[in-house]
Every structure is written in C-alpha cells, then in structure tokens.
A and B are shown apart, each in its own frame.
Chain A
Amino acid sequence: NAGVTQTPKFQVLKTGQSMTLQCAQDMNHEYMSWYRQDPGMGLRLIHYSVGAGITDQGEVPNGYNVSRSTTEDFPLRLLSAAPSQTSVYFCASSPQGLAKNIQYFGAGTRLSVL
C-alpha cells in the first residue's frame, strides 16, 4: 500500500526560487493537510483541505499556496523561497475529517533554502 507519498524527499533552493512539493494519497481520504516541522517547535499547520476544491489556511500560511483539484493530490507551492522556509515538510491525510480519525503522514520533504 502506497499510503501518503511525498516528493521530493530532499530539496535545496536558492532564495527567491519557486517550487512545488508534491503530495498524493491513494486511500480516497477527504482531508489533507501540510505541516512544517522546525526544531523545538513541533508541527505547525500550513494549509489544509476538507475535500476537492476546498482549502483553508492553517497557523503559518504566509509564503505558501495550495490547491486541491482532485481528491488524491494536494501540492504545496513556495512562491519565492526564503531561508525562513528551511524546514521539514509533512503532508498528511485522514478519512472524512479529523473528528474521529487518525492522520496518516507522508515520509516528509527536507527543504533547505540558501
């Protein structure tokens, strides 16, 4: 079972470059989300989606865009990378929202912005 797949696993960017972190799940989950993890700060929610065509901001949305054109895919776009966006990014999905269900996490993308 593939579960939640994130690509790439590692990425180095220069300040000002743009890129898209890919996230795909094959479990037909409605809820998908993006987190960033920084040392000593736990996970912080960037954006989330409760279904195709619906997205909303999390705790730290600035500098990131998302879209949800299909149930399976939830890409995260960095418009103009900054060193402050150096972090580990996790995508997660959950069936029918979070009220009673666990989230399944991808393996993560380690991003360095120079």
Chain B
Amino acid sequence: AQSVTQLGSHVSVSEGALVLLRCNYSSSVPPYLFWYVQYPNQGLQLLLKYTSAATLVKGINGFEAEFKKSETSFHLTKPSAHMSDAAEYFCAVRNTGGFKTIFGAGTRLFVKA
C-alpha cells in the first residue's frame, strides 16, 4: 500500500532563508509524486509533480523538489523564503499502476520577517 509521511507539522524560517519541507513515500511500484500548496480557506494548488522524467523537478514560485529513489524521498526546497510562501504544503503520491492519490498530513510553513 502506498503512503506519505511529511516530517514536521510546522516549519518556521526567516525571510530570505532556505525552505526545506520533507516528504517520504512508501510505494511498491514507481510512483508519481506531487507537491501542493494551500492558503487559508482555499483549495489546493499544484506546485510541481514528478512523473519519472527528470529527478529534479522545478515548479512554480521558485520551488523545486528532487526525487531520490534510494531514500524514498521527495523533499521540497526553495532557496529564499518570501513572506507570501507562508501556507500549508502537502505531499501526495500515486502509484503508476493505480489511480488513487494519497496525501500527507501537511506541513505548515511560517515565514518570519
């Protein structure tokens, strides 16, 4: 069965600092992986997705994520945090052979001025 673990329910960084949000997945077959962002009382917006092409995936708003099969990880990074990055971030996994997408519990990012 597939699953997603997001390490750290809350992450706090200073404006301009590196953002690192961790995601580990469990899947018996090669997965598709997604990162979504959610602002308060809004739906989820796709940041980026991995679909077995390049292992380093670039997304919107300066975010990127690297797929590491050996570590079963898909961590999200951004070199320099902006106040507008404060939101909830969700990692999600879907098996290549299936159609069900499983979401992690989310990580809330706080950005300090």
Do A and B form a real pair?
Answer: no
